[in-house]
Amino acid sequence: MIPHDLPKAINAVRVCGYRRHWSFCVIEQNLVHAGAETELLHHGLVLGGARSGKSAFAEKLVLASGRRPVYFATSQVFDGEMEARVDIHRQRRGDEWTLVEEPLELVDLLANQSTQESCILVDCLTLWITNLMMAERAVDDEADRLVALIESLPSNARIVFVSNEVGQGIVPMNKMARDFRDHAGRLHQKLAAAVPNVWFVTAGLPQKLK
């Protein structure tokens, strides 16, 4: 069924422009359509493809929690293009966020910094997997540690994970790319089973899966 406010969401894209504002305009119109609670009651996983609006939606969830927003960035900047992408994210978030950068030791960081006063956004898990692979770490073991941590955290902890869905395209031609796809798919399944809230974002439209 088409939601009654969908035309307003589409118009928001036209009015607000593309680069800086479109994600928030569309996401704000579609929070209710997605079944997204105004208060995030527990952990969440937000999946989507590249430029799907998943990060903007996850940021809205964190801000709606009313807690201190903390951004855990797993990216590593190696070139000008990546630096530009990071700058866009920083400008969109604004100064109210606390930024923590950690490409590898995500599990230990979450264990030490998850509090009842904060809501943590991890963006993103697929870059974390890439970093682990490049460091020749045991990716599946680290993924199991992450899931075990999530299941052991106090009930008042709040973490939102963002990750790219990379398993819906063609089969990658090389082994490393196939391993990456498989690691991501396995982690998504395990984490989706461990958290009570899961969304999939397509073209700025979040769909509640769980």
Residue 3 belongs to some domain of the structure: no
Whether 49 is in a domain gets the answer yes
Least Cα distance to 198 among 47, 37, 55 occurs for 47
In a domain, 189, yes or no: yes
Do 67 and 118 meet the contact criterion of CB atoms below 8 Å apart? Answer: yes
Task: State which amino acid sits at residue 170.
Answer: I
| The total number of structural domains that make up the chain | 1
Nearest to 201 by CA among 33, 85, 67, 69: 33
| Predicted structure pTM score | 0.79
Which position has the higher pLDDT, 77 or 97?
97
Whole-number pLDDT of residue 54: 97
Mean pLDDT of the chain: 84
More reliable by pLDDT, 135 or 18: 135
- Determine, yes or no, domain membership for 197: yes
140 found inside a domain: yes
Instruction: Identify which has the larger pLDDT, 196 or 89.
Output: 196
Active site members: 89
Question: Domain span at residue 153?
Answer: 36-208
CATH number of the domain bearing residue 128: 3.40.50.300
Q: What is the pLDDT of residue 94?
A: 73
Q: Above 60 in pLDDT, residue 34?
A: no
Share of the chain above pLDDT 70, in %: 76
